[in-house]
Structure 1
Amino acid sequence: MSQKRPATLKEIAAHAGVGTAAASVVLNGAKSGTRVSDEKRKAILRVAQELNYRPNGLARSLRTRRTGIVGYFSGYECIDPRNEYIAAVMGGMQSGCTELGLDLLLYTPHVDLSPESVVANLSNGRLDGLIVSARPEHPISALLAVDHLPVVALADPLPDIPSVVADSYHGGELQAQHLAERGHHRVLYVPADYPFLSVLDRYRGFRDEAAKLGLEVIDGQPVHGHHPEIGPSEARLHPDDFALFSRPDRPTAVVVWDDAPAYRIASQLSDAGLHIPQQVSVVGYNGCLPATEPRWRLSTVRAPWHHVGATAVRTLHRLIEGEDVPSITTLPVEMIAGATS
């Protein structure tokens, strides 16, 4: 079976009894001195529908210098949709693109490409703009800051690039206030195994507020976040931290940098015979609902990651249109009191 050839603009014009210029004005929005009557416009649209005409996207982009495509680049390697945070951010970006009539392209660089080659690929005309998640020291961050491609950073702010973030520092403050209000005095803080800027900010917020409130904070060993492939020893409390809960002066609360390890640590402590939250409270961060129903409704700081993703797209669109945008847009977070504190 031979594949049907798409109708051409010339064929549409011939069937509608008009010139090619008139058909181009109606179907492609071409700028021309040709005036098209309502009657001819209707005829062109009717024939285009009958022949299933589709405008040539490449030709349109050459004319408008726009592709209608924005990209997303992650400097944190894998974009894993099983990660609830990634799913929320991606959903937000898709919502923003739908609202503005844009398409979203995930860019995955090959490992053998240099940072310069990656930026050259991103800014070669296929994208109108780019949303990026990366640390400031990532080689691509400095290159994008001086490139002509409109760029917005998401979640972790980048120097010289407009950024859309959640109020991570205040989120850490809320965690400390929540535990102090519930009478806790000795808290184990479990950090991330990777220095995300937003995660470091929430730690600083917690530490600063805990000092004001008189909370004793024990710095625990880092744990992994969402990766399903990690082993049990990487997914839960380090043995030295776990041993703290067999002592008379054990911590009465655990603050974890992210919800996924917080759920695992709560299960670990419960399986060891500690009652949650009567004997030990567990507080997470992010507020992204897991795909399966959890054992507890976790106490956590909810960051509006879906809204962050959508706002990043809107901010990028404004940049593409030549508008001025804030250097940083910070969205509020909220403390959610669940069943684990």
Structure 2
Amino acid sequence: MAGQARHKVTIGEIAAEAGVSNATVSKVLNGRSDVSAATRERVQEIMDRHHYQRRRPRRRGGIVDLVMNELDSLWSIEIIRGAQEALAEAGVSMVLSAVHGSSTGTGEWLEQIAGRRSDGAILVVSDLTPRQRARLAALKVPFVLVDPVGSADAGVPTIGATNWAGAISAVDHLIGLGHRRIAHLAGPRQLLCSRARADGYRAAMERAELAVPDGWLRFGEFNDASGRRQLTDLLDETAAAGGLPPTAVFAASDLQAFGAYTALRERGLRIPQDISIVGFDDVPVTRWSDPMLTTVRQPLQDMAAMAARTLLRLVDGEEVDLPRVELSTRLVQRESTGPVPPGPDTPQ
């Protein structure tokens, strides 16, 4: 009406009039392809009729923090590369911080984020306390978790991978080669991804009606020293008990798999003629190992890039469609796996 200020229509009102969700309106605004032509046309017509103009909050400084437990692993390098490339495409700078595991509780990285007025944070940390979450909320700093330690809050965007399905594909591959005695060198027990891979191993073994002897699923760390120690202890304990050793090993990370390589070579055992090995991650060095490692490819760069793009949407005041996204893993067959060696349980 004349003399009255024009009401500025909101995304919620457009969604209600179009009979769609707020997320669908956001997709139309962003030119996303996963919206039907009819829906796109209806939403666009309503926006045009109401003279809707998108209001994007101004970013405070064009800076995003990437906070990680460590920076010196092959896994970390892939995450850093994926996040940096996605942020660079958007013209946003990235500040990298290492909290070295236990120091997440000090909160020093939080005060650094506050001091430089970061737009948001990509967190790849082993733990995030309620106090730290509250501090981020008080700072009005949106954040996205990558591969969190446990189940995140429903409202916290999380990017992960299909760890359970990836583990099943690894064990099924070994079973398909005739292996029946398969051990698993798991990652840290407190990490969600480690538990998911261990659960996938158990599920595949149970489905094939194969036993998992005591000590054949061993939790450790995602590094080569742990893999070497885990397999050495397993072989020593099995021999002391008079049992048959595994003919195949599924390691929860490529670095643990390389540690298993060392343990086997110290015993004069060949890969894969005596024992087959499967890793997890598919870091670049797997293509240069001898033998080249069969592994489950985790899309680390894609995970980090999606986390970065999701964060920028939050910074711009948009809604995120799915609070948790899991990107697909897939088995990459190379030279470290082969048929089961002749023995008492070789299929006839």
Distance 2:74 2:99 in 1: 23
1-side partners of 2:222 and 2:164: how far apart? 19
8 Å contact kept, 2:66–2:95: yes
Any conservation in 1 of the 2:228–2:262 contact (CA below 8 Å)? no
Unmatched tracts of structure 1, length 5 or more:
1-62
Greater CA deviation, 138-147 or 189-198? 138-147
| Matched AA of 1:197 | L
Out of 192, 196, 201, the position equivalent to 1:197 is 192
Aligned to 1:54: none
The answer to whether the Cα contact below 8 Å between 2:62 and 2:119 also exists between their aligned partners in 1 is yes
Residue type at the aligned position of 2:94 = L
**Runs of 5+ in structure 2 lacking a partner?**
1-56, 338-348
Aligned-pair distance for 1:115? 5.1
Q: Structure 2 residue aligned with 1:92, among 82, 88, 109?
A: 82
Counterpart code for 1:70: V
Q: 1:279-290 maps to which residues of 2 (within 5 A)?
A: 279-290=274-285
1:144/1:336 CA distance change after superposition, 3 Å:
farther
Q: Which residue of structure 1 aligns with residue 247 of structure 2?
A: 252
Task: Work out the percentage of aligned pairs sharing the same amino acid.
Answer: 24
The aligned residue for residue 38 of structure 2 is none
Task: State the Cα distance separating 1:72 from its structure 2 match.
Answer: 1.2
The 5 Å alignment of 1:1-341 reads 64-74=58-68, 76=69, 79-81=70-72, 83-108=73-98, 118-123=109-114, 126-135=117-126, 138=129, 142-143=133-134, 146-147=137-138, 148-156=140-148, 158-159=152-153, 160-193=155-188, 195-218=190-213, 219-226=216-223, 235-237=228-230, 239-243=232-236, 246=239, 249-290=244-285, 293-325=288-320, 326-341=322-337
Taking a change above 3 Å as real, the CA distance of residues 282 and 268 of structure 1, as seen in their structure-2 partners, is same
8 Å CA contact 2:294–2:333 kept in 1: the answer is yes
Pair 279,117 (structure 1): closer, same or farther in 2 beyond 3 Å? closer
- Stretch deviating more after TM superposition (107-116 or 284-293): 107-116
Deviates more, 1:234-243 or 1:246-255: 234-243
- Structure 2 residue identity aligned to 1:265: A
Length, aligned pairs only: 271
Give the CA deviation at 1:238: 5.2
Contact in 2 for aligned 1:119/1:140 (Cα 8 Å): no
After superposition, give the CA deviation of every residue in 1:25-49 in whole Å (9 maximum; x if it has no partner): xxxxxxxxxxxxxxxxxxxxxxxxx
Counterpart-to-counterpart distance in 1, 2:99 and 2:199: 33
CA 1:267/1:113 → structure 2, altered by over 3 Å: closer, same or farther?
Answer: closer
Match of 2:49 in 1: none
Taking structure 2 as the reference length, the TM-score comes to 0.69
CA distance in structure 1 between the partners assigned to 2:325 and 2:103 by the alignment: 34
Counterpart secondary structure, 1:92? helix
Structure 1 residues 80 and 208, CA gap change in structure 2 (3 angstroms): same
**Are the structure 2 counterparts of residues 144 and 165 from structure 1 closer, same or farther at C-alpha, using a change threshold of 3 Å?**
farther
Two-structure CA RMSD over aligned residues (Å): 2.9
Give 1 or 2 for the bigger CA radius of gyration.
1
The answer to whether the Cα contact below 8 Å between 2:71 and 2:98 also exists between their aligned partners in 1 is no
Deviation track 1:290-339 (CA, whole Å, cap 9, x = no partner) reads 29932221111010001111111011011111111120111100001111
Report how far residue 64 of structure 1 moved.
Answer: 4.2
Calculate the TM-score normalised by the size of structure 1. Answer: 0.70
Name the SS for the 1:261 alignment partner. Answer: helix
2:94 is paired with a residue of what secondary structure? strand
In 2, distance between residues paired with 1:180 and 1:141?
Answer: 44
Question: Helix, strand or coil: the match of 1:264?
Answer: helix
The answer to whether the 8 A contact 1:286-1:300 is kept is: yes
CA distance in 2, matches of 1:259, 1:65: 39
Q: Are residues 181 and 195 of structure 1, via their aligned partners in 2, closer, same or farther at CA, if it must alter by over 3 Å? A: same
1:125 to partner: Cα distance: 5.8
**Cα distance in 2, alignment partners of residues 109 and 275 from structure 1:** 39
Structure 1 partner of 2:341: none
SS of 1:93 mapped into structure 2: helix
User: What is the deviation of 1:131?
Assistant: 0.5
User: What secondary structure, in the 3-state scheme, does the structure 2 residue paired with 1:106 have?
Assistant: strand
Match of 2:346 in 1: none
Give the distance between the partners of 2:306 and 2:106, measured in 1 at CA. Answer: 27
Displacement of 1:143 in angstroms is 2.7
Query: Contact 2:87–2:308 at 8 Å: present in 1 too?
Result: yes
